[in-house]
Structure formats: C-alpha cells, structure tokens
C-alpha cells in the first residue's frame, strides 16, 4: 500500500480518456482576441464557456485601472490582509461593495472559492447545522467540511424537503445555516428564494446565498437573485466572486449583520492567504462601477441567453430547466459528450465539457455560458455548429 493507491481509479479513467484520442483537459487557449474570441490549436474559436457574463475583461476602463495600479503599487501585496496585505484599494472595494448591496458590512477574499471556505469554516462549527441544497458548488461542500458542523443536504430546489429537515431539528433550527445559490452553475436554474426565505424566517435559521453566477445577471441593478426576489432585507449573508461578471479574480461576502466584522478575525482562508493584487482590485472596482451604471449590458446578456437557449431547444436538444446565461445541453453518455465536445471544438466553438461527478445526478453536459459581448451573429454561428453536430455525430451514433 502507498499513498498513491487511492488514485488508481482516477489513473484508469484518465488512461481511457487519453486512449480515445481526445484530451479535453489539455486545451490551451493560445490567444485571447476579445471577450468572445480566442485561438485554440492554431484555429480561431468562439468562446462560449468563459462565465464572462458582461464581457468586461477587455473593457478599457478596467484595463486602464489595472495598468495604473501596477505602475503605482506593484504586481502583488506579498502578504495577507492581516499582515501587510491591506491596501487602501481593498478597503475602498469593501466600502463600494457594501454600498452597492445597501449593506453596512463587506469582506473581500482572494478568490471566490476562498470566500466560501472562509465564511463557512468560521461562521459555523461543532454543534451547528448546515442545510445545503444538494446541487451546491464544490467550494460550499469543502467549506462545510472545514467547519466541523453537521452537514445535511436537502433535495435540489425542494422547499418541502428543506422544511421537513428544519422541522426535525427542533430547537437546533436557530443554530442552522441554510445554503443556496442564486443561479446554479451547472444547469442554470434559480433557487426558489422567496419560499426558502419564508421557511428560514419561520424556523429562525440563518441564510447564506451564493450569487457567484447571478451577480450582474439578475435584479434591476444587477445585485442578483436576492434583489430580483425582493428579499435583500431578509438574507443574512451574500457571497460572490469577481471572476464571472466582474472579469477578475477574488471573492467577497456582504451582510447586514455586524458579526461579519468578527469573522474577519476568525477565518483562516482570509488570515493566511495573500491578499488580491492591486491590479485585480483596481479592475474589479472599475467593473463594479460599469455594472452599476450600464444596465444595457444585462439586457444584451439576456437577449443572447434567450437566443441560444430557445435555439437549442428548437434543434431538439435537452437543455436546463429554464433560460439563463448558463445554458447546459444534457447528453446521454460520456462517450457521446466527448465526441460532441470535440466536434464543436473542431468547428471553432469552445464550450465546457462536464463529466460525472461534476454535474448533478451523474449527468454529462456541454455547458455553454453566454456573454453580453457575444453578437447575434456569433450566437447564430454557435447554433449552426450544434445543428451540424446533430446532423452528423448524433445521427451517426444513433445509427450505430
């Protein structure tokens, strides 16, 4: 026995994948030409798998802010927020995030993943209970494991199952944190937040909403599902990321509760991780201003999302349960999804390949993410690629 024995199954699966001649995890984007175009294997591709929802990665204001920060503050902080890593920009971004949400308190983390690890591991502990939607992101599961709290899953978007489990907890409900996502990252559906908030209030629990994929996407001002559902004053914590709509990297938590400031002194992923670089903070601040003042970006995003979602349905594909900038095409098997992903890439269309256990219920997905920067012509090209895929690869597979 060695410490590597646990990897035998993984190694066998990897060998099987490489033997097929398709290596989806070896894709290198050799050149980024715009928020929606790149070069892979020497060929131009339309990028439909980047989570760049508002297309801000090339916005001149964001680039100028990042360049200015590098020139005046250097490339990195070389320390954590609790040591030498708190700059004026970090504090300014926290104030701006709090103002954007209308909450008094905010914390900035180095990544969105660390935001969930940091919040959950510090907020809950032994004797507490976490009730999480079964389809929550891996960072949420990992944060729950770090917390040492009792972790109980409820069926995805099943508010009846959530309430049943809260009811069984009795007095422990007041020591319970409910975890859901604004938009779920694999199938693109929303949490049933109005019902979840009502149940949370009824039992005296707490609620954390991860708005990673809904910041800039939902709500009249882009604040996410909590804004769209009209429950911002009844949610205890909102976690989000800078790596989707804001086009950078980093994470945050905002809250109406003053206890959030105490968490700053207890969360190890905040205390012991180098803080975000000045350039990232500067570009994120610029992106947040753009998000708040340009609602037309959200309008274009949703026009493109509807275009792709309805177009794929018309082609006969099985897609996620509701229109969203996350548009998932559900395939029947690993072999099928690999062949389809490879075919699309050869046609100049890059989408995300999701294999079990990455998707709910062991599904295999071609996961598309739409951007406000996509043109209508680009969406038509993507749909033409899926039409050709249906008429060649899928029909050939069915004939076999």
Sign, Cα dihedral of 62, 66, 68, 72: positive
Residue 139: pLDDT above 60? yes
**pLDDT band at residue 398, thresholds of 50, 70 and 90?**
low
pLDDT at 358: 83
Residue 397: pLDDT above 80? no
| CA-closest candidate to residue 297, choices 30, 11, 55 | 55
Q: Which two tokens stand for residue 174?
A: 């007041």
pLDDT in tens, 102-126: 999 999 999 999 999 999 999 999 9
Torsion of CA 98, 104, 110, 111, to 10 degrees: -70
**Catalytic annotation on 334?**
no
Rounded CA-CA distance 286/62 in Å is: 5
**Options 90, 137, 213, 374, the catalytic residue:** 213
| CA-closest candidate to residue 243, choices 113, 337, 332, 81 | 113
pLDDT in tens, 60-73: 999 999 999 999 99
What lies within 8 Å, CB to CB, of 218 at 6+ separation is: 182, 183, 190, 224, 225, 227, 228
Long-range contacts of 131-135 (CB under 8 A, 24+ apart): 131/162, 131/165, 131/166, 131/176, 131/177, 131/178, 131/179, 131/205, 132/178, 132/179, 132/180, 133/157, 133/179, 133/180, 133/181, 133/184, 133/191, 134/360, 135/181, 135/184, 135/186, 135/187, 135/360
How would CATH label the architecture of 5-57+295-399?
Alpha-Beta Complex (3.90)
% of residues, the chain, pLDDT over 90: 89
> What is the rounded average pLDDT of the residues 269-284?
97
pLDDT in tens, 277-310: 999 999 999 999 999 999 999 999 999 999 999 9
pLDDT at 394: 66
Rounded CA-CA distance 249/265 in Å is: 22
pLDDT at 22: 82
Rounded CA-CA distance 330/206 in Å is: 34
**Options 110, 121, 139, 185, the catalytic residue:** 185
pLDDT in tens, 324-379: 999 999 998 888 999 999 999 999 999 999 988 888 888 899 999 999 999 999 99
> What is the rounded average pLDDT of the residues 233-248?
98
DSSP-assigned states of every residue in 182-228? SB-TTT-PBP-HHHHHHHHHHHT-EEEEE-TTTTTTSSTTS--HHHH
**pTM of the predicted model, to two decimals?**
0.95
**Catalytic annotation on 333?**
no
The structural domains of the chain, with segments of one domain joined by +, span: 5-57+295-399, 58-293
- Residue pair 120/147 in contact (Cβ under 8 Å)? The answer is yes
**pLDDT band at residue 400, thresholds of 50, 70 and 90?**
very low
pLDDT in tens, 185-230: 999 999 999 999 999 999 999 999 999 999 999 999 999 999 999 9
Among 5-19, 40-54, 90-104, 233-247, the least confident range: 5-19
**Catalytic annotation on 283?**
no
**Options 90, 137, 244, 374, the catalytic residue:** 244
- Residue pair 238/225 in contact (Cβ under 8 Å)? The answer is no
Long-range contacts of 19-28 (CB under 8 A, 24+ apart): 20/335, 20/338, 22/338, 22/339, 22/341, 22/342, 24/338, 24/341, 24/342, 24/353, 27/345, 27/350
Among 26-35, 155-164, 387-396, the least confident range: 387-396
In CATH, the number for domain 58-293 is 3.40.640.10
């Amino acid at each position: 026995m060695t410490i590597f024995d646990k990897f035998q199954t993984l190694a066998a699966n990897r060998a099987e994948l490489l033997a097929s001649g398709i290596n989806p995890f070896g894709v290198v984007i050799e050149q980024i030409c715009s928020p929606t175009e790149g070069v892979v294997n020497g060929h131009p591709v339309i990028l439909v798998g980047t989570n760049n929802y508002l297309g801000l990665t090339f916005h001149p204001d964001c680039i100028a802010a990042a360049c200015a920060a590098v020139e005046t503050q250097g490339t990195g902080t070389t320390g954590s927020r609790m040591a030498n890593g708190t700059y004026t920009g970090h504090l300014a971004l926290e104030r701006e995030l709090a103002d954007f949400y209308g909450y008094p308190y905010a914390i900035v983390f180095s990544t969105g993943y660390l935001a969930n690890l940091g919040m959950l591991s510090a907020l809950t502990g032994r004797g507490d209970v976490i009730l999480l939607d079964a389809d929550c992101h891996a960072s949420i599961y990992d944060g729950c494991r770090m917390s040492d709290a009792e972790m109980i899953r409820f069926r995805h978007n099943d508010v009846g199952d959530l309430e049943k489990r809260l009811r069984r907890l009795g007095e422990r409900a007041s020591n319970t944190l409910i975890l859901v996502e604004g938009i779920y990252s694999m199938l693109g559906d929303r949490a049933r937040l109005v019902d979840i908030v009502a149940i949370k209030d009824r039992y005296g629990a707490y609620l954390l909403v991860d708005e990673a994929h809904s910041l800039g996407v939902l709500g009249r001002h882009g604040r996410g599902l909590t804004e769209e559902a009209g429950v911002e004053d009844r949610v205890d914590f909102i976690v989000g990321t800078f790596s989707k709509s804001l086009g950078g990297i980093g994470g945050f938590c905002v809250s109406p509760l003053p206890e959030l400031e105490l968490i700053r002194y207890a969360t190890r992923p905040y205390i012991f991780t180098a803080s975000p670089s000045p350039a990232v903070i500067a570009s994120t601040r610029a992106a947040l201003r753009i998000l708040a003042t340009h609602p037309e970006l959200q309008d274009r995003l949703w026009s493109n999302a509807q275009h792709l979602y309805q177009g794929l349905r018309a082609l006969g594909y099985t897609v996620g349960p509701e229109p969203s900038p996350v548009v998932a095409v559900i395939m029947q098997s690993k072999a099928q999804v690999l062949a389809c992903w490879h075919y699309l890439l050869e046609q100049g269309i890059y989408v995300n390949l999701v294999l079990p256990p990455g998707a709910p219920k062991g599904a295999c997905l071609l996961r598309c993410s739409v951007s406000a920067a996509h043109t209508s012509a680009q969406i038509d090209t993507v749909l033409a690629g899926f039409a050709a895929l249906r008429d060649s690869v899928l029909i050939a597979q069915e004939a076999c």
